[in-house]
Amino acid sequence: MKKMKAIVYLLMIACIGVSAAYIMYKQRSPVSQDAGNIDDKSKSNSNKVGLGWELGLYGKDNKIIDNGSRLAVEEGEVSSRLSFSHYMNDEREYKLIALHDFRQSPFEVEGQTYQSYDFLAKADDTVDIDFIDTLQDNTKEVSYLIIKQPHVLLEKFESEAVSLGNLLSLRYPIEDRNTPTENSLLPFLISTKEPIASVFLSEQAEELTALMTAKSGQEVYLTIGNPGNESVQYALIAFLDWQQVPVINNEVVNYVTVEPGEKKIYKLTLPRVSTKTNYQVVALPDPYKVSNSNYSSQSVEASLRTVIQPF
């Protein structure tokens, strides 16, 4: 693609990842979430359709703002155009969420204010969203997340569960300065037992079985793992029906540092609901250390979606 550093997710990678996850689930073994972002419903002979998504942010000058590069703020606002290409052979819904320092924040589209913005993409289509994002003076990092098919509730593990669980993201620093590291959350358990999943919700502390459904207010276990070979810090957030809710200890954002080959396990009480509702935990690597040379700082990790059911 010409000048655009976009995020492209390839069908072949995802199909392999989704198939492997599905086999492991059927065997009641740990499910891998580290797959690509394409589900196996998307097939086409076209060079584009079925290949996935491209996501980019453009400034007022119509030039691409590289993922991880410093975001320009004018009079407290970011005026941008998000360009989202949907290389699928069917029509699908998406949702845009803005985070300021890992907290969900409102933004403006066509004169209206939204906490999250739903949009529809037709087959092999590109959707452009012009928006205005008003920042606080002390904002240090901005992230934009795309949720795939946000209104789909998966109560059983299916091949598309891994794809829907993976979020598309753009992350940008606002200020060129370091931010003091937050205290790391004290875990219930630290383990090096494999597999090491990045973000996982389960009913058992060390058995990584996909938690596709759970009861309102149920106590479950959240695993935050580091399969890499360098220490990593995460900012942890959670969404209930795509509205941000506290994660642990009634904190809207938790910070966790995990050593290589290690996983930290936390007790987590799920929110109470009155209707079936999607719930998901999201981990953003390298908080406040985003750069265009550090790929992991531009990305997000997430648990599989869990459908919380009322009593």
pLDDT along the chain (311 residues), means of 10: 40 37 32 33 36 89 91 90 92 97 97 97 94 93 97 93 94 73 81 93 92 97 95 96 96 95 96 98 95 90 97 84
| Structure confidence at residue 249 (pLDDT) | 92
The residue with tokens 């390298």 is: 286
Peptide bond into 195 cis (omega under 30): yes
Neighbours of 148 (CB within 10 A): 20
Distance CA 78, CA 170 (A): 14
Distance CA 172, CA 145 (A): 12
| Structure confidence at residue 207 (pLDDT) | 86
Domains of the chain with CATH codes: 11-173 (2.60.40.10), 189-309 (2.60.40.10)
The tokens for 263 are 């996983």
In 3D space, the residue among 227, 242, 221, 230 whose CA is nearest the CA of residue 305 turns out to be: 242
| Structure confidence at residue 107 (pLDDT) | 98
3: three-class secondary structure by DSSP: coil
| Structure confidence at residue 60 (pLDDT) | 86
